[in-house]
Amino acid sequence: MTKNQKLLDWVNEWAAICQPDNVHWCNGSDEENQQLLDEMIKSGAAVKLDEKKRPGCVAFNSDPSDVARVENRTFICTSKEEDAGPTNNWMSPDKMKAEMLESYKGCMKGRTMYIIPFSMGPLGSNISKIGIEITDSPYVVVNMRIMTRMGQKVLDILGDGDFIPCLHSVGAPLEAGQKDVRWPCASNIDDKYISHFPETNEIWSFGSGYGGNALLGKKCLALRIASNMARREGWLAEHMLIMGITNPQGVKKYIAAAFPSACGKTNLAMLIPPIPGWKVETVGDDIAWMKFDEEGVLRAINPEAGFFGVAPFTSMETNPNALHSADKNSIFTNVGVTPDGDVWWEGIGHDCPEGTIDWKNKVHDPASGQTVAHPNARFTSPADQCPAIDPAWEDPAGVPISAFLFGGRRPSTVPLVYQAFDWNHGVFMGSIVGSEVTAAAIGLKAGVRRDPFAMLPFCGYNMGDYFGHWISIGENAPDKSKLPLIFNVNWFRKSEDGKWLWPGYGENIRVLGWILDRVLGNVDATETPIGYVPKKEDINIDGLEGQEKYMDELVEVDNKLWLEECELIAEHQEKFGDALPKQMKDQFEALKARLKK
């Protein structure tokens, strides 16, 4: 176990408050994992899938009230409200702790308190961090075992060192003799809290058992708390995939990319090139932690050990590597379970078998109009099961990053790809990333929904200060000549009649090829008011029948459309008030001046 007195005192303090029936220190062993799975299968909380079709796999269905991240109940608790910024929900630490403490009293009665020691990042890496999660959910334990390096080996490395304390409860105590429900959670949204205390590196979560609300190593620690630690310590904690790209000449470079949700991030991380000679390998599909090494190279690790992937529309056509990652030893949440013990979801690539049990635990009726899987249904799979996993994905030193990519869904205005003039211009590009939404999108008015650096829900402090941190990374880089180049991509351009101008998916390797050529200095570009745009002949479209006629439009920069875009950017920048760095204002003014020439 451990002799870390601070850790022992913390666990004892919370055990006294939460009043569990038992306290179990997780060792991360196969036996422990199997015992927890067996208990959940026996209780009806989980369904064991067919051992031949899905060896070592189980399926869970959550309560219908607990199916996703709850952004309106996610808080950043800092002494000063302005430190949380305009994009976060804020409450003072004292008020939040007093409110939540009442909820935690006796919340684990009738349950076991599990102590989960976990490392975000390879064990022993100087970029990694150690957290300890207290939870009363065995579902959380088995998921955290996949998503992190978990167990006794972490305590051994921790020794007497410091850790990030993470507290979680489903908020559903059991009275003596009371039968448990299949998915315990607080049914009332107002009884759910996902609270972060960046000044003390603490996470308190209550009432939800789902995903990032409960697996506290994921968005809570790896982004919201880590982004604050990164700002204080001079590194980067980003919502980015990491991938290695090797060209036909055998030259390999690593890139990190940030896209808002529904923009093909996981698909890009696991891309299978359709043209000969190219190779893509996956380091991570969601989060990147990056620090400069002694030679001034920015190196990245994937702090996670698994994928928490969206299941619907993952198929052999869209992302075979993701699908194969979940072939075995995986946990499925809110998918359909077929009569022969396999899984099914919308877009999996074949018809739903009759008699399939849907995510609400009912036999699916095709006439009902209901989906079999929840749109946010997930698979939790070990990263080392991915067929495209990079050989260096667990290298404690991290992989060297040569380029950053930003992008969103933009049917017009934004070209297929363009490159920043310099670091600060690239930061400005990242700060204005967004996707167009239609009037039909629930709760959003039509227009561009900005998601700077794809960090809007995950930045643990004022985003104006976050832009400033990125600027300081460039200013304080040990060797500015080794800073990654910065690009923006847009796979989603459409013609006036609504047709896609670019095929996307695997064909995106052609755009990545141009980016790699720019990194290597192999190709020129056209300077435009917004950045460097490829010459259309420098993007390889061999074998893409009919693509030639779209290339002019794909690389076009329309000054009139961009001046209209500037009006939207002005609105966006106003939100950050005095926290917006002068360099970002200067970049905006320079863009407008170039467009008006």
pLDDT digits (tens, 9 = 90+) for 167-188: 999 999 999 999 999 999 998 9
The predicted-structure confidence for 538-593, as pLDDT tens digits, reads as follows 999 999 999 999 999 999 999 999 999 999 999 999 999 999 999 999 999 999 99
* Mean pLDDT within 402-431: 97
The predicted-structure confidence for 329-345, as pLDDT tens digits, reads as follows 999 999 999 999 999 99
In order of their start, the domains of the chain are 5-45+68-234 (3.40.449.10), 238-304+391-596 (3.90.228.20), 306-385 (2.170.8.10)
CB atoms within 10 A of CB 388: 19
Evaluate the CA torsion angle 60, 63, 66, 67 in order and state its sign: positive
* Mean pLDDT within 27-43: 98
Please report the pLDDT score of residue 207 as a whole number.
Answer: 98
Closest CA to 581 of 470, 429, 464: 464
Please report the pLDDT score of residue 438 as a whole number.
Answer: 59
- What percentage of the chain reaches a pLDDT higher than 70? 98
Please report the pLDDT score of residue 597 as a whole number.
Answer: 84
Please report the pLDDT score of residue 264 as a whole number.
Answer: 86
Pick the catalytic residue from 263, 352, 386, 459.
Answer: 263
How sure is the predictor about 231, in pLDDT bands with cuts at 50, 70 and 90?
very high
Please report the pLDDT score of residue 377 as a whole number.
Answer: 97
How sure is the predictor about 158, in pLDDT bands with cuts at 50, 70 and 90?
very high
How sure is the predictor about 495, in pLDDT bands with cuts at 50, 70 and 90?
very high
**Residue at token pair 């017009």:** 412
- What is the rounded distance in angstroms from the CA atom of residue 256 to the CA atom of residue 289? 10
Please report the pLDDT score of residue 510 as a whole number.
Answer: 98
Q: Helix, strand or coil for residue 478?
A: coil
Asked about 263 being catalytic, the answer comes back as: yes
| Planar angle of CA 181, 113, 220, nearest 5 degrees | 90
The predicted-structure confidence for 74-88, as pLDDT tens digits, reads as follows 999 999 999 999 999
Please report the pLDDT score of residue 1 as a whole number.
Answer: 87
The neighbouring-strand residues paired with 367 are none
- pLDDT of residue 439 exceeding 70: no
How sure is the predictor about 446, in pLDDT bands with cuts at 50, 70 and 90?
low
- pLDDT of residue 442 exceeding 90: no
Q: Average pLDDT over the chain, rounded to whole?
A: 96
Please report the pLDDT score of residue 440 as a whole number.
Answer: 47
464 Cβ partners below 8 Å, 6+ apart?
A: 85, 576, 577, 578, 579, 580, 581
Please report the pLDDT score of residue 29 as a whole number.
Answer: 98
Higher pLDDT, 441 or 394: 394
- pLDDT of residue 594 exceeding 70: yes
- What is the rounded distance in angstroms from the CA atom of residue 145 to the CA atom of residue 133? 12
- pLDDT of residue 441 exceeding 50: no
The predicted-structure confidence for 448-462, as pLDDT tens digits, reads as follows 899 999 999 999 999
CA terminus-to-terminus distance, the chain: 68
